[in-house]
Structure 1
Amino acid sequence: MSTIEALAERLHDYMDDARINQVRRAYFYAEQAHEGQFRRSGEPYVTHPLAVATILADLHLDHQSLMAAMLHDVIEDTGIPKEALNEQFGEAVAELVDGVSKLTQIEFRTRAEAQAENFQKMTLAMARDIRVILVKLADRLHNMRTLGPLNYEKRHRIATETLDIYAPIANRLGMHSLCVELEDLGFSALYPMRSRYIRKAVETLRGSHREIIEEIQGRLEERLAERGLPGRILGREKHLNSIYNKMKFKHKPFHEIMDVYAFRIITDSVDDCYRILGAVHSIYKPLPGRFKDYIAMPKANGYQSLHTTLFGMHVNIEIQIRTEEMEQIANNGIAAHWLYKSEDSSVSQANQQRVDRWVRGLMEMRERADDSLEFIEHVKVDLFPDEIYVFTPRGKILEMPAGATPVDFAYAIHTDIGNACVACRVNRNLASLSVPLQSGQTVEIITAPGARPNPAWLNFVMTGKAKSSIRHYLKHQRRTESVELGRTLLKKSLNGFSIKLSDVSPERIQRVISHNQVSTFDDLLAEIGLGSRMAYIVARQLLPGDTDVAASDNTLEFGKGAEAGTVTIHGSEGLLLRFATCCKPIPGDPIVGLMDSGTGMVIHSESCDKIRLHPDDNHRLVHLSWAKDITSEFSVELRVELERQRGVIAELANAVTLADGNIERIGVEEQDAHLSSISLVVQVQGRKHLARVMRRIRNIRAVTNISRVRH
């Protein structure tokens, strides 16, 4: 069992006596506070905070983090207030303890809401001080090491939560060693039999392969000595969870995974890394496409190393080459920041900046998300990054998750760029916005003033930032449009009663707001715009002189008040103004709007069967008219009957093009030996343009009949 003196001895490696004494004092305070408390295993409770502090000492964390580790359960379990800790140990330590205490409330259970809500608390704590999450990760690691005495349900829940949240966070912070141990402990707790089987198989295989491993290592050491290159060579263990996941998700047999021999070469400088790469390539042949330079292009979590796969002695050999500092950062990630803090290390500072950027991104997503469930959905995407590296036109490197698209890239540069994105060039060629990007590509985003995100982007974007930004914009846009449409419809209904909205007194408006149980007048207008309330009824409620607001609800006839005036349509439908796909109205067609509860207005032709089929829904109809200066294009379906001739489809397409039309879809519906019936969907700007297109088609000699299709 570890003692405070054993810990103090270890701290002498990197801490002065004054700070070690502060850690000691925190231990004795915790020991007194937890007096009489025991763990499930029967040990005094204080052994847990001491073990957490020891884990942090192995990472060379500062004295305040170790003091917080000693005291992290004091507020929670002993009733000692934060103020008392502030007085005893200073504000920084008290804040850390308070942050970690709040995180101990993370009881994920089976309720997604609880998990998401608590994850938000964690994000806020991380934003204030990243050391909070480091103490929490050490706390979780010790709990995972001592799961034994707990019942099955609790072990299962803690292990699941560790694999879902804590191990990915450790990975995102670059803390590889801690992440690997959390994953293996979680895997062993969830699948004890599978874990035992894989561990036994690994040990057996390692014993039979010892000679090959020693021979490869000997040849590598010999070549480095020949060339005078400094470097220590370590064998690299594959951890159990990684082996299991490769077997499960990549459908690889155990022997195929274990037939790869992995080594790590640690050297003095970046220059030596590249020299050693040349040396190992001179012994064994490198496999094409398997070299990765993470020194020039570090991973999102700050990891740096050269990776190469060689073929030798009838086996594949994986080699990682890095400096001592890169080794520390690869294993301890953000925790290595404290180890190199006094040395002004550029690698450590870059790592710190990456973490700061990630936490800032989390805070941005948190502000944009409507609720905690949406927030955690966005964050989980970013917790499992398999990175690609793409370039801006100026040569700046951006890390993106595998499968990211140009839209993700646009939002990674800036939210405003993403919102205004209309097209892109990949390696100078125009490309689709939905195409997955590949490492090494140069991406240029083309924007346009007035452009806005397309809801369809949500089907293919990968990053949490892109998803949260698009959803945030669309919600805001939907709200703005619903308020505007509601205002237009209400004004139209009030015009029928010969009054203006500006004539209604603020007192009357307030009474109507209270009666309809909404917070603001804009909320009421938004509900009218969404079709959830009728403009005519709200107009009746707003009439001056009518003392009883509720009595106004009883009048439902679609009379003078509802019919007066029309709403003008400009053709650029928004999120709440949609054109019906059944009758496909175009400028010039007589049109009406049908209010669809919760989704806004659908515009139909007056002759549409759907309008005729709902005579009881007259109160949902809005009279509409077209604006004069519409330039948008609208889809129209035509049915063309013609004699079968060679090349007639090409002639048909040519006729549409000559009339400045655009073919959206073309298909043969029926045909026999002599006649064909063609379905043609064309884009036109209105009835006059449509007439011109139809006239061109009618002039084709083979055409016997043409008609517009209205479903």
Structure 2
Amino acid sequence: MTAATHPAPVDLSVLPPYVLALKERIAYLPDAQIERVLRAFQIGAQAHAGQERKSGEPYITHPVAVAGILAELGLDAETIIAAILHDTLEDTELSRADIAAEFGEVVAELVDGVTKLDKMRFGSRQEADAESFRKMLLAMARDLRVILIKLADRLHNMRTLGAKDGSSRRRIARETLEIFAPIAQRLGMNKIKAELQDLGFRALYPDRYRVISERIRAALGNRREAMGKIETALSVRLSAEHLQSRVVGRIKSPWSIYSKMRGEHKSFTQLMDVYGFRVVVDSAMSCYMALGVVHALYKPVDKRFKDFIAIPKANGYQSLHTVLLGPFGAPIEVQIRTAEMESVAESGVAAHWAYKTESGPANSAQARAREWLSSLADSSANTVSSSEFIENVKIDLFPDEVYLFTPRGHILSLPRNATALDFAYAVHTDVGDHAVAARVDKKLLPLRTRLESGQLVEIITAPSAVPNPAWLEVVVTGKARTAIRQYLKHLQHEDAVDFGHRMLDRALDAQGSSLDGIPSAVLDRFLEASKLKRLEELLSDIALGNRMPDVVASQLLASRGKKGGGKPQVSTHAHEKIRITGAERGVLSFANCCHPLPGDDIIGYLSSGKGIVVHREECPNVVELRKSPERCVAIEWDRDVHGDYRAELRIEVINRPGVLATVAAAIAAADSNIENVEYVERDAVAATLLFTMEVKNRKHLADVIRRVRRTGVVSGAYRYPL
């Protein structure tokens, strides 16, 4: 350990003013813990000796200020100490072992976690470095205090952003608005979120910030008397009903005004022409009594009441919200909550942290944050791609919630536009995987139905039901998307292994051998040389077009000792084609250039990473594909084929009113689903329509064409392309 970690006893008489201010803020801690914090300052000051901030101040002023922000939130001693030392590992000679020896493993782990976060750089919400963001969220899952320190660090950096150059200010401001403020909001830390947003707004758009701030000041000057009268009226009426309360006028922030002007397309006057008040009472029951009192004083506006006490927000926020018609003709927004709810609303997961033991109950924001972070950890474990993981997290990080009831009366919170299928996966992954329909407020509805707050939702399941790729277009939640993709990847792997096995067997068969005829020792050596762990990986690689079956077959036979010398025996089965049912959608795709249907003569082309792309034999592109014979796969349709397949129909019609409806009705009458229709050519006499539809096979398409030709408005109908 270095000498710097063995300071002399702290001399309180020589502490700088900013440390004395921190000492006052941590007065809630026991004396022994306060002494540890002051010792951390002395070690940090020695470690950072000679280092300065851009402003010219000693560097140690920054970590002490960060510790002060956390002390205002009432955080525990370990968090305060880690905040003071959070830059030492990266910027000084102090080591992790030194910190652990002096302050314990918990502090060392927190400092190490924050140091790793400091190395991350984010461009924007859309362009965030996905892997770094993933690591940050998983660090939060291990210990929430890591992100609390990081948020306090960011807040102090934003407060002192003026020392940075213009481009740095804009980059940090954008990062703050698009990454850190939403995380603070998701953790229920509304006070820090609001300050981060306004500081970010001021740095990113200084002119807009100045104009809106000046207009807010002017508007408040004109309405101060009215605000005072309403506040007095509310206080007097609440006191008359023997309710202990505190009434405070609320003022919208510049960022709040700006984002609502953009998002809701409202003018400044529309947004400022609203009076806001917060009523703080002593109990949840008093909240509802106070609600009755304010509704008796001013008439409530219909459909503008929200009960976040009975149904808390996803971040633990609780309050009653109501809108009243005030005495000056403008709406009055009133929030009613207890002092406890006020603390959680302002500080979120940080509320009452110092007084919570490990075994003690967490506040609602802490419990919900841990639940959210636990679900993130599960999602990360099941998601290979970092960008896919971030796509899922963004949905949870920027929600506009709807609150829904299960048949047992439990409440689930989902993002706005969530569907019944999202609800099914929120209940349980197994419920989602086997969902077939939903009963919403006792009405039977499809899984794609979008849900609204207050609805009672019951999911109907069937053991035979399984996810399909179309579900990914229906769901909006990260949990549902991850579960569906995981199932489809598993299905794709099974299909790929089966198909790859058939392709390799056929290739070996063409050379007079079979997979069973390859000794296991030879196969193991080949897999090891190819850096594959299992035979399934090799077979999947073949089906996905990453390896050529003929090449693999030749290599295996060569490894077995069949090279040179005798002429290989040619199998009598070599000409047999691989049969497909169309259900192998994990490894098969159907070419858009020719739209092959069951009943067509087909050929497969191995496309790297995509698997087998199926073309019609008469497709014009096949001539070019045959120039790479090693990638061509001999395939044919199985006798038993199910499902719907895309087809295009080119129809020439007489151009007159109602002709489109007539043709569409004929197609529908033939049990075909129309996906799209467009006019290819059109003049005063005739028109050419191109219908994209779903059919089951060639015979079904022929039936559609016959019905269309019988309409009497069609001069020609034929499959496209020919």
Give the TM-score of the pair, scaled to structure 2: 0.85
CA deviation after TM superposition for structure 1 residue 464, in Å: 2.4
1:96 aligns with 2:110: yes
Aligned partners of 1:374, 1:629: CA distance in 2, in Å? 36
Contact 1:243/1:257 (<8 A) preserved: yes
Q: CA deviation at 1:281?
A: 0.9
Q: Would you say the 8 A contact 1:508–1:544 is kept in 2?
A: no
- Higher mean displacement: 267-276 or 626-635: 626-635
Task: Report the equivalent of 1:5.
Answer: 20
- 2:503 aligns to what SS in structure 1? helix
Equivalence for 2:219: 205
Aligned to 1:222: 236
Output the CA distance in 1 between the equivalents of 2:672 and 2:605: 29
Secondary structure class of the residue paired with 1:434: coil
Q: 2:666·2:711 contact (CA, 8 Å) conserved in 1?
A: no
Q: Are positions 1:300 and 2:314 aligned together?
A: yes
In the alignment, does 2:335 pair up with 1:320?
yes
Matched with 1:414 is 428
Instruction: Give the counterpart of 1:663 among 672, 678, 684.
Output: 672
Distance in 1 between residues matched to 2:678 and 2:267, nearest whole Å? 51
Corresponding residue SS for 1:209? helix
Equivalents in 2 of 1:617, 1:59: separation in Å? 68
Match of 1:335 in 2: 350
- Aligned pairs for 1:149-548 within 5 A: 149-312=163-326, 313-338=328-353, 341=356, 348-509=362-523, 512-513=526-527, 521-544=535-558
Distance 1:512 1:112, change over 3 A: farther
Inter-partner Cα distance in structure 2 for 1:525 and 1:119: 34
SS of the aligned residue for 2:506 comes to helix
Counterpart AA for 2:331 = N
Contact 2:672 / 2:704 at 8 angstroms: preserved in 1?
no
Rounded Cα–Cα distance in structure 1 between residues aligned with 2:690 and 2:171: 58
Please identify, of 224-233 and 576-585, the stretch whose mean Cα deviation from structure 2 is larger. Answer: 576-585
Q: Work out whether residues 76 and 101 of structure 1, in 8 Å CA contact, stay in contact via their aligned partners in 2.
A: yes
Partners of 1:455 and 1:337 in 2: CA distance: 46
Cα separation, 2, equivalents of 1:52 and 1:687: 71
Task: State the Cα deviation string for residues 78-134 of structure 1 (Å, max 9, x = none).
Answer: 221111111111122221122122222123368988733332332232122111111
Q: Relative to structure 2, which stretch is displaced further, 241-250 or 169-178?
A: 241-250
Match of 2:576 among 565, 576, 583: 565
Distance 1:180 1:545, change over 3 A: closer
Runs of 4+ in 1 over 6 A off after TM superposition: 110-114, 342-346, 514-519, 559-562, 635-644, 649-657, 666-691, 694-708
Partner AA of 1:389 in structure 2? Y
CA 1:597/1:97 → structure 2, altered by over 3 Å: closer, same or farther? closer
Structure 2 distance, partners of 1:190, 1:650, is: 57
Deviation track 1:592-624 (CA, whole Å, cap 9, x = no partner) reads 434344322244455555546755355444333
Aligned residues with identical type, % of pairs = 46
| Structure 1 residues 192 and 582: CA distance shift in structure 2, 3 A | closer
Deviation at 1:169, TM superposition (A): 1.0
Residues 228-282 of structure 1: CA deviation (Å, up to 9, x unaligned): 1111100112111111111223222212111111000000011111111111111
Distance 1:65 1:508, change over 3 A: same
Distance 1:128 1:652, change over 3 A: closer
> What is the CA distance between 1:655 and its match in structure 2?
12
Residues 2 and 125 of structure 1: CA distance in aligned 2, closer, same or farther (over 3 Å): farther
1:105 and 1:66 mapped to 2: Cα distance?
21
Hey, what's the Cα distance between the residues in 2 that align with 1:358 and 1:53?
26
Distance in structure 1 (CA, Å) of the matches to 2:431 and 2:488: 15
Look up the SS of the partner of 2:492 in the other structure.
helix
Pairing 1:574–2:589 present: no
Partner AA of 2:351 in structure 1: A
1:10-29 equivalences under 5 Å are: 10-12=25-27, 14-29=28-43
Give the Cα–Cα distance (whole angstroms) in 2 for the partners of residues 576 and 68 of structure 1: 51
Give the match's secondary structure for 2:276.
strand
CA–CA separation in structure 2 for the residues paired with 1:181 and 1:547: 73
1:78 paired residue number? 92
CA RMSD between the two structures: 4.0
Cα deviation, residue 499, structure 1: 1.2
Which stretch shows the higher mean deviation, 402-411 or 422-431? Answer: 422-431
Deviation at 1:588, TM superposition (A): 5.2
Please state how far the C-alpha of 1:340 moved relative to its aligned partner. Answer: 5.6
Code of the residue aligned with 2:373 in structure 1: it is: V
- Select the residue among 47, 72, 83 that pairs with 1:33: 47
**What is the DSSP-based 3-state SS (H/G/I as helix, E as strand, rest coil) of the residue aligned with 1:177?**
helix
Matched, 1:601 2:615: no
Secondary structure, counterpart of 2:163 in structure 1: coil
In the alignment, does 2:129 pair up with 1:115?
A: yes
Distance, in Å, in 1 between the alignment partners of 2:543 and 2:536 is 10
Aligned partner of residue 3 in structure 1, secondary structure: helix
Deviations 1:385-435 (A, max 9, x none): 211111223221111111222232222222333333343333233334333
Does structure 1 retain, via aligned residues, the 8 Å contact 2:74–2:352?
no
Counterparts of residues 107-146 of structure 1 (less than 5 Å): 107-108=121-122, 115-146=129-160
Change (3 A) 1:277 1:531: same
SS in 2 for 1:300: coil
Judged with a 3 Å threshold, the aligned counterparts in structure 2 of structure 1 residues 181 and 545 are, in CA distance, closer, same or farther, namely closer
Tell me, yes or no, if structure 1 residue 622 matches structure 2 residue 599. no
Deviates more, 1:39-48 or 1:397-406: 39-48
Q: What is the rounded CA distance, in whole Å, between the counterparts of 2:360 and 2:340 in structure 1?
A: 9
TM-score by length of structure 1 reads: 0.86
Which amino acid in structure 1 is aligned with residue 212 of structure 2?
A: I
Q: 1:299 to 1:519 in 2, by over 3 A?
A: same
Letter aligned with residue 330 of structure 1: A
1:159 and 1:189 in contact (8 A); partners too: yes
Distance in 2 between the 1:343 and 1:518 partners?
Answer: 45
1:106 is paired with a residue of what secondary structure? coil
Deviations 1:427-480 (A, max 9, x none): 233334333321112223333435443333333432222333333433343333
Aligned partners of 1:536 and 1:561 also within 8 Å: no
2:406 and 2:456 in contact (8 A); partners too: yes
